[in-house]
Structure 1
Amino acid sequence: MSAPDPEGFVEAPDEELGRRVAGIDDAEAEQRAQTLRAGLSDYELEDEDRSLLDTALADEFDDEETGPAPVLAVVGRPNVGKSTLINRILGRREAVVEDVPGVTRDRVSYPAEWNGRPFTLVDTGGWDIDVRGMASRIADQAEIAVDMADAAIFVVDARTGVTSTDEHVVRMLRRAARPVVLAVNKVDDERGELQAAEFWSLGLGEPHTVSAMHGRGVADLLDTVLEVLPEVSAVDQKLEVGGPRRVALLGRPNVGKSSLLNRLVGSERVLVDNVAGTTRDPVDELVELGGRQWRFVDTAGIRKRARQASGADFYAALRTQTALERAEVAVILLEADQVISEQDVRIVKTAVEAGRAIVLAFNKWDLIDEERRHQLEGEIQRDLAHVAWAPRVNLSAKTGRHADKLVPAMERALESWDTRIPTGRLNAFLGELVAANPHPLRGGKQPRILFGTQASNRPPRFVLFTTGFLDPGYRRFIARRLRETFGFEGTPIDISMRIREKRKRK
């Protein structure tokens, strides 16, 4: 028998699962799905459930690409409450709320929604700001975020009043020519309202008074923000439907991204320097590979202009996330001759969370010996086990050795990323799977899977209607057997539950 999962689930071997599922013809699979769907009428369903189920049985979902969500930057000097405001908007504690120089984080942007409108929040708080030339550095860091945003919330502090730093940031915001909503934070009473009137002098229009800590005025602020945000981000062009597949080239600084892109392009189109962080602006490059065009986005970091050096980490993280939003597949470059770092693992995690197809490319393969290869395998099993499904390519960006293997790896990953499983076939798989490996008892009851559907692809997302909570270990088991049965090499897959109870008989 298989080793127990950390949650206690023990899988019984079932080597015939794929064969049994393949042996069920389409008509029988469809009939099974119709029967299971009819059985759901005994359960309490929401309107959203019914809509999803109707779409599932028609094996349809919207393929149209609408472009990236608009981007909203939250800027202001330290300790005015930027991160507290972001957490209030998100409805959860995500952003770091201590504006201490040197505070690091894995993310600088967060998906958000207000009144059904999605947008991306960019947090500029808490980054390494030197006390020398503070006003200038704050403005430069805000400029990075605003340049890549559709609009900005400028947060100021009612208790301290207008400062020279605030005025410095205002000058930058005027140059950026983006819509700006002025939020006067820490207003908890009528006295604060009177203090806020001072901020009319900034020339940014009406000061919107809020208390990020207590939520006061935040809803009205967001209503105003939605009036100036476009439906689709105007910072990046609308994503091309049916155009060249889009590739984000990711990796920590100086790992060889620009060298690899130059090798693929066949020219010195991208600035290359042996100093980490020499590329400031993203470079979109159409590359002919394997008989088709690909659109590569190089994300090699930041050119450290004198006053922006302190924001390098901020910019690199923001650029990576923005590139991922525009990409379909992420090629993550790692150095084979170096130990896999925490930063490497974070970049992989960011790509997985973004839901992009993934290819792992190990650069400088020609520089390592047999002993290092053995060590690297151990590191991969330890640190990258969560992406064991990602294709791997061992190459040399400098010589071009095996760079041609990137194309079939990307094609496999994208094919999996695009994959849809017909609803009948999915439920046939689930039926066979559960029959051989039912969920363990929970509190004397056994959760059952009533029906399953693929809600979307790019990446594949599955929704399971269940009678109870499925343990994480059991969901990992389902995901692994989905991969074994249907492929899904190179793409994350998401499995969520909708726990529904039986209707009470009247």
Structure 2
Amino acid sequence: MAELGLDPDEFVAAADGSPEGETDYEEVPPTPVLAVVGRPNVGKSTLVNRLIGRREAVVQDIPGVTRDRIAYDALWNGRRFTLVDTGGWEPDAKGLQAAVAAQAEMAMQTADAVLLVVDASVGATATDQAVARVLRRSEQPVLLAATKVDDDRLVSDTASLWRLGLGEPHPVSGLHGRGSGDLLDAVLEALPETPRDLGLAGPGGPRRVALVGKPNVGKSSLLNRVSGEVRSVVHDVAGTTVDPVDSLVELDGEVWRFVDTAGLRKRVQTASGMEYYASLRTRAAIEAAEVAVVLIDASEPIAEQDQRVISMVEEAGRALVLVFNKWDLVDEDRRIAMKRELERDLVRVQWAERVNVSALTGRSVTKIAPTLRTALESWDKRIPTGRLNGWLADVIAATPPPVRGGKQPKVLFATQAQTRPPTFVLFTSGFLEAGYRRFLERRLREEFGFTGSPVRINVRVREKRSKKS
């Protein structure tokens, strides 16, 4: 170890439980909620991006891009609040748009204040007036934002919006930022210091779970099933979800933060427009999560898309649970075919626990929480250095590394460098073949578990000292 320029005592201390390489979770107090509502394509998501100071909401020049309640953390003048973007509200909507409108109404009912967004270049439409009538009866404070006021010429036109009966209209440009500071000041005045509904989150914050999978596999249906209410819009049109949807869900006596994500159709490099940004946000949701629930349609053959999503979770180093949905559609022939597919296509993630569920009927949904706990326990697990090296010595004595270049490499020392995911570093006298590293990983799992978590093994080869002349 001295030859490597490393202090063995320092490595032992880190591997035996020091906080180095671990993530601390601070207790974040609940924040008040502002719901942003309005008819489709008035620029709500553009305004949301301006108010939160970053581009998170998917924006495209077609109506109906946002379809769910999307929560974002916002900060202004030292005060934090949660901003909820909603789909366009239509009073007489049908089908998918009716579900979108229901999400907007739910946001209005549960928020601490509401921001109604109206397109100043068009003026108050019949739909705007219908929304205003609903909001005038609500108990929450209501603010009125007149968007697309990009220059002085439209400022005078906002005066006509007083007739909506919601007080002073705030002219603002989501595109250029004009008037956004004044609007945020008004938002802080309207919001209470603490939210009306403190929610379910307990001390330390809930564990973060990303729901990922290809389009129309049932992610939103599963989220609605585990939460016991309609949190995400569900429709038989593939790709209904565009933004990641955050929901605090009480499951098996514990609160979890579930994130429903957009289904991934293509690789991010080949996706375009709305699908491109949705793909980026899905990848970001995986990175921000601690455990990913990959949903696979059990009634269909495992597809390349399914394997690509699993690879994304592996690359991100997140804990993994495979949930096979639509089990109510699986017959005996499909079960036999699936067994072959699992052995052929998912052999590299044999360590991931599998649950067969039906989001439609609720079958075995209660089994998801225990598998999440198991995966996260493995993801957080740390093996003491002494125990690790004692085990490794026995394994190597029984099965030494293969000879390479006429010499057999020796493993000098091993330590667990970090958790989340468990990462082990082997200091050796020579290179270890990939096959032998996989062998060590299998034996490591047999001895210590790590069910549901990826395990990384890195090799550091000791450099030979140059002879002094």
| Separation in 2, partners of 1:428, 1:365 | 44
| Separation in 1, partners of 2:467, 2:174 | 65
* Structure 1 residue identity aligned to 2:389: N
State how many pairs are aligned.
305
* Structure 1 residue identity aligned to 2:344: R
Deviation per CA, 1:176-230: give whole Å up to 9, x if none.
999xxxxxxxxxxxxxxxxxxxxxxxxxxxxxxxxxxxxxxxxxxxxxxxxxxxx
Distance 1:284 1:366, change over 3 A: same
- Deviation of residue 429 (structure 1)? 1.0
- Deviation of residue 315 (structure 1)? 2.6
* Structure 1 residue identity aligned to 2:436: Y
| Separation in 1, partners of 2:317, 2:179 | 32
Aligned pairs (5 A) from 1:26-425: 40-41=1-2, 44-46=3-5, 53=11, 55-56=13-14, 58-62=16-20, 63-65=22-24, 174=176, 242-301=204-263, 310-425=272-387
Q: Retained in 2: the 8 A contact 1:283–1:298?
A: yes
> Which residue in the other structure is 2:187 paired with?
none
Q: Retained in 1: the 8 A contact 2:202–2:255?
A: no
Equivalent residue for 2:443, pick from 458, 481, 484: 481
* Helix, strand or coil at the partner of 1:297: strand
Q: Retained in 2: the 8 A contact 1:290–1:407?
A: yes
* Paired-residue identity, %: 56
- Deviation of residue 281 (structure 1)? 2.5
Structure 1, unaligned runs of 5 or more: 1-39, 68-121, 123-134, 141-146, 149-170, 179-238, 303-308
> Which residue in the other structure is 1:432 paired with?
394
| Separation in 2, partners of 1:313, 1:472 | 37
Distance 1:407 1:176, change over 3 A: farther
> Which residue in the other structure is 1:467 paired with?
429
> Which residue in the other structure is 2:412 paired with?
450
> Which residue in the other structure is 1:195 paired with?
none
Deviation per CA, 1:398-433: give whole Å up to 9, x if none.
111000010111111111001000000100111000
Q: Retained in 2: the 8 A contact 1:61–1:455?
A: no
| Separation in 1, partners of 2:15, 2:402 | 29
* Structure 2 residue identity aligned to 1:380: L
Distance 1:259 1:355, change over 3 A: same
> Which residue in the other structure is 2:101 paired with?
none
Distance 1:57 1:246, change over 3 A: closer
Deviation per CA, 1:445-501: give whole Å up to 9, x if none.
001110000000011000010111100000000001000100000000100011013
| Separation in 1, partners of 2:338, 2:23 | 41
- Deviation of residue 241 (structure 1)? 8.5
* Helix, strand or coil at the partner of 2:4: coil
| Separation in 1, partners of 2:378, 2:237 | 37
Q: Retained in 2: the 8 A contact 1:447–1:466?
A: yes
- Deviation of residue 341 (structure 1)? 0.7
Q: Retained in 2: the 8 A contact 1:452–1:464?
A: yes
Structure number with the bigger relative contact order (C-alpha 8 A, sep ≥ 6) is: 1
| Separation in 1, partners of 2:445, 2:16 | 23
| Separation in 2, partners of 1:468, 1:59 | 29
* Helix, strand or coil at the partner of 2:233: coil
* Helix, strand or coil at the partner of 1:269: coil
> Which residue in the other structure is 1:157 paired with?
none
Q: Retained in 1: the 8 A contact 2:243–2:278?
A: no
Distance 1:265 1:64, change over 3 A: same
Q: Retained in 2: the 8 A contact 1:301–1:312?
A: no
Distance 1:242 1:53, change over 3 A: same
* Structure 2 residue identity aligned to 1:64: T
- 1:492 and 2:450 are equivalent in the alignment: no
Q: Retained in 2: the 8 A contact 1:258–1:300?
A: no
Q: Retained in 2: the 8 A contact 1:55–1:61?
A: no
Structure 2, unaligned runs of 5 or more: 27-54, 66-71, 74-172, 181-200, 265-270
| Separation in 1, partners of 2:383, 2:229 | 41
> Which residue in the other structure is 2:85 paired with?
none
- Deviation of residue 278 (structure 1)? 1.2
Q: Retained in 2: the 8 A contact 1:460–1:494?
A: yes
- Structure 1 range deviating more: 419-428 or 375-384: 375-384
TM-score by length of 2: 0.60
| Separation in 2, partners of 1:475, 1:492 | 14
Q: Retained in 1: the 8 A contact 2:246–2:257?
A: yes
- Deviation of residue 329 (structure 1)? 0.5
| Separation in 1, partners of 2:420, 2:202 | 15
- Deviation of residue 136 (structure 1)? 7.3
- Deviation of residue 325 (structure 1)? 1.6
Distance 1:58 1:356, change over 3 A: closer
Distance 1:59 1:384, change over 3 A: same
CA RMSD of aligned residues (A): 3.2
| Separation in 2, partners of 1:332, 1:52 | 38
* Structure 2 residue identity aligned to 1:281: D
* Helix, strand or coil at the partner of 2:344: helix
| Separation in 1, partners of 2:331, 2:439 | 36
- Deviation of residue 273 (structure 1)? 1.1
| Separation in 2, partners of 1:461, 1:417 | 10
| Separation in 2, partners of 1:324, 1:57 | 27
TM-score by length of 1: 0.55
* Structure 1 residue identity aligned to 2:388: L
| Separation in 1, partners of 2:446, 2:178 | 50
* Helix, strand or coil at the partner of 1:411: helix
| Separation in 1, partners of 2:369, 2:307 | 23
